[in-house]
């Protein structure tokens, strides 16, 4: 791991410039020096020079009085800035099981640019990557997984990746004007403004910018789609296994936010009576204390907070500025007005495998998952968050959909698939379906995918992971072509990666995954648009076949029936009987309490560590 070297090289004049063979670029804040990388790979039939600029500051360090404030424009520098190494990763939560190998700092607002050409007239399309990590972890490069070299070189696009504030320093909110929250999202906004102002100097086209992200990163992309502040900053969006409907879909309970904020303050030595004094005190707390003292068990120490009810401790909030209302309301009420933005959205076939392997760790080394009825009853609703969780009628409806009824009477019935399907549909597949329908109905061009190919080398090191959460990432970034020591592709998978990279970069070039803008193009029928009716989608697999109506019955349950059922039972003042509550198993507070504090903490930890940034390193050590 190289050390961060984001330092100013005070060079008196270009005559004395000692980087004659390295690329120079002038941006709005000063001169940059990067490095040239030779990219060659026979499988991709590509041999070219790539220009790479790492650790470019796009805003002032958000430290001291700038903590818990919107990012401020980067001041001009003199001399030449050394952009040949990654910037610091943002401060993130400590975890005994998972760790980021990159150095961390509160001074972390840096981005990276991978460009095939520095000619101003090139006008290459631009793809801006927003990493995931439950708004809590990871970085723009994540130990090489998000290396944009292959994608830029093979796809003939410019790739930009960025850090944004995470965890408490990125999403702490008091529920009022003293700390409104969403600083990490505002960082992304300023980074996109930087792209608009400067990407032409790297050979890029500011009128063809695509934002793409995975999991919480895809949720960030969705928030950018829904925010009125991002108009004109991008033109296409790719959402991989995530939407703004993830978890609570932006908190909007100011009383809860205030209570939570004061509880955090007590843990960090700031026991102030009002939010203004609390925030001022927290600005003086060393950044490392947020990482060290707000560990995975801190939720259990905050009065009035039940760990099993909090999906992600620090996440986007409805601030009336960046996020004007709950995403669900914005979608249902037509709050999306970027009809000129083309959208590609999708999920993987086995999104729920990761959660099951954490909740039942004995399965991690198994050749295949086997879940008994008793184990299923223990875990099947642990990671579901919503008003239906204590509604017996809704729980019965969910059971009706997923329980393997053909073998339900047998003592050895395997409930693994029931859990995997349910969890994946609830958290990823059906929110994507809801968002795709809303965006398509608003007039946007929408394309949907569903990855069904099970990688030969799973990110998780689990034999049965199949097409699990984040398994598409090595295919999108072409890690095989970057020659990383892990995530190798089997020979038959190389063409899958090349096809996915082509679809993604075609989307960035033309707004259509079929068309590259060159004379030799695919048929527009190769990947049909998603629309209602029709509901067409592309399967990412060896065959790359088209299909339609992905999980339409299951998504009708989650997106339509369950909300109506909950509303009806609430309107009728429905009161569950004791038998009903017994039937809801883990959803009753007594059952959850019976599991013990450690399991409740684990439930929250699972949610906060479900992204690839938390699992690949241990699996490949």
**pLDDT in the model for residue 308:** 64
Predicted pLDDT at 568: 84
Ordered alpha helix ranges (H), 244-307:
254-267, 275-282, 287-293
| pLDDT value for 275 | 97
**Which range, 77-81, 350-354, 591-595, is most confident?**
77-81
Confidence check: pLDDT of 597 > 60: no
Tokens 């003086």 belong to 284
The pLDDT value given to residue 389: 81
Whether residue 469 lies in the annotated active site: yes
Predicted confidence band at 379 (pLDDT cuts at 50, 70, 90)?
confident
Distance CA 527, CA 514 (A): 6
Residue 316 has pLDDT above 70, yes or no: yes
The terminus-to-terminus CA distance of the chain in angstroms comes to 15
Give residue-wise pLDDT tens across range 292-302.
999 877 887 88
Cis? peptide before 558, omega within 30° of 0: no
Tokens of 116: 């095939």
Mean pLDDT of 203-215: 97
Tell me if 129 sits within 8 A of 213, measured CB to CB.
yes
**What pLDDT, on the 0 to 100 scale, is given for residue 521?**
63
Q: Is the pLDDT of residue 397 over 80?
A: yes
CATH superfamily, domain at 1-168+182-244+334-621: Alpha/Beta hydrolase fold, catalytic domain (3.40.50.1820)
Which three-class secondary structure state does DSSP give residue 143?
helix
Q: Which of 131, 235, 262, 469 is catalytic?
A: 469
pLDDT of 232 strictly over 60: yes
**E strands of 131-172, at which residues?**
158-162
- Is residue 215 annotated as part of the catalytic site, yes or no? yes
From the candidates 214, 308, 315, 351, which is the catalytic residue? 351
Catalytic residue among 115, 215, 241, 497: 215
Confidence category of residue 408, pLDDT binned at 50, 70, 90: confident
235 counts as catalytic: no
Of the chain, the percentage scoring pLDDT greater than 90 comes to: 65
pLDDT surpasses 60 at 620: no
pLDDT in tens, 498-547: 999 999 999 999 999 999 987 656 666 699 999 999 999 999 999 999 99
Per-residue pLDDT averaged across 334-353, rounded? 89
pLDDT score recorded for residue 157? 98
The share of the chain scoring above pLDDT 70, in percent, equals: 86
| pLDDT score recorded for residue 519 | 60
Phi, psi of 24 (to 5 degrees): -115, 135
Length of the chain: 621
- For the segment 445-458, the average pLDDT, to the nearest whole number, is 95
pLDDT band at 151 (very low <50, low <70, confident <90, very high): very high
Report whether pLDDT(231) > 50.
yes
Predicted confidence (pLDDT) per residue in 1-36, tens digit: 343 444 443 332 332 334 447 999 999 999 999 999
Strand-pairing partners, residue 447, are 344
pLDDT digits (tens, 9 = 90+) for 271-280: 999 999 999 9
Element containing residue 310 per DSSP (H, E): none
């Amino acid at each position: 791991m190289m050390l961060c070297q984001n330092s100013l090289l005070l060079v008196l004049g270009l005559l004395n410039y000692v980087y004659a063979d390295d690329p120079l670029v002038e941006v709005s804040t000063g001169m940059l020096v990067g490095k040239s990388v030779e990219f060659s790979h026979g499988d991709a039939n590509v041999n070219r020079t790539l220009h790479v600029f790492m650790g470019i500051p796009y805003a002032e360090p958000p430290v001291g009085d700038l903590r818990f404030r919107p990012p401020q424009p980067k001041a001009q520098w003199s001399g030449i800035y050394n952009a040949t190494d990654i910037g610091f990763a943002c401060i993130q939560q400590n975890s005994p099981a998972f760790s980021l190998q990159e150095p961390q700092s509160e001074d972390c607002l840096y981005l990276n640019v991978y460009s095939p050409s520095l000619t101003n007239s090139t006008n290459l399309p631009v793809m801006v990557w927003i990493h995931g990590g439950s708004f809590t972890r990871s970085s723009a490069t994540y130990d090489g997984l998000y290396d944009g070299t292959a994608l830029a070189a093979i796809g003939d696009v410019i790739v930009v990746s960025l850090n944004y504030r995470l965890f408490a320093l990125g999403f702490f909110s008091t529920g009022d004007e003293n700390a409104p929250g969403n600083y990490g999202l505002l960082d992304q906004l300023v980074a996109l403004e930087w792209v608009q102002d400067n990407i032409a100097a790297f050979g890029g086209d500011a009128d063809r910018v695509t934002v793409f992200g995975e999991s919480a990163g895809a949720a960030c992309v969705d928030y950018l789609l829904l925010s009125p502040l991002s108009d004109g900053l991008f033109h296409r969006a790719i959402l991989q296994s995530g939407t703004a409907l993830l978890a609570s879909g932006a908190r909007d309970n100011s009383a809860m936010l205030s209570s939570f904020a004061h509880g955090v303050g007590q843990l960090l030595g700031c026991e102030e009576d009002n939010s203004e004094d609390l925030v001022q005190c927290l600005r003086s707390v060393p950044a490392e204390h947020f990482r060290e003292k707000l560990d995975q068990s801190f939720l259990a120490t905050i009065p009035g907070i039940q760990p099993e009810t909090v999906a992600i401790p620090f996440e986007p909030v409805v601030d009336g500025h960046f996020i004007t209302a709950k995403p669900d309301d914005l979608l249902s009420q037509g709050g999306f007005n970027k009809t000129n933005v083309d959208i590609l959205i999708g999920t993987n076939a086995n999104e729920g495998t990761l959660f099951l392997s954490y909740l039942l760790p004995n399965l991690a080394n198994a050749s295949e998952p086997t879940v008994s009825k008793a184990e299923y009853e223990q875990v099947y609703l642990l990671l579901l968050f919503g008003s239906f969780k204590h509604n017996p009628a809704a729980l019965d409806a969910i059971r009706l959909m997923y329980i393997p009824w053909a073998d339900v009477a047998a003592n050895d019935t395997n409930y693994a698939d029931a859990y995997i399907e349910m969890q994946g549909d609830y958290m990823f597949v059906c929110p994507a379906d809801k968002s795709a329908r809303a965006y398509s109905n608003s007039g946007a061009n929408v394309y949907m995918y569903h990855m069904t190919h099970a990688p030969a080398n799973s990110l998780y090191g689990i034999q049965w992971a199949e097409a699990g959460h984040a398994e598409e990432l090595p295919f999108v970034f072409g890690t095989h072509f970057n020659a990383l020591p892990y995530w190798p592709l089997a020979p038959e998978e190389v063409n899958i990666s090349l096809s996915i990279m082509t679809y993604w970069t075609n989307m960035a070039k033309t707004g259509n995954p079929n068309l590259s803008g060159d004379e030799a193009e695919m048929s527009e029928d190769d990947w049909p648009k998603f629309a209602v009716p029709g509901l067409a989608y592309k399967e990412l697999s060896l065959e790359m076949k088209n299909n339609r109506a992905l999980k339409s019955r299951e998504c009708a349950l989650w997106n339509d029936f369950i909300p109506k059922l909950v509303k009806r039972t609430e309107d009728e003042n429905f009161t569950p009987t004791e038998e009903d509550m017994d039937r809801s198993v883990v959803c009753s507070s007594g059952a959850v309490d019976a599991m013990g504090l450690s399991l409740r903490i684990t439930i929250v930890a699972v949610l906060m560590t479900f992204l690839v940034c938390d699992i690949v390193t241990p699996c490949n050590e």
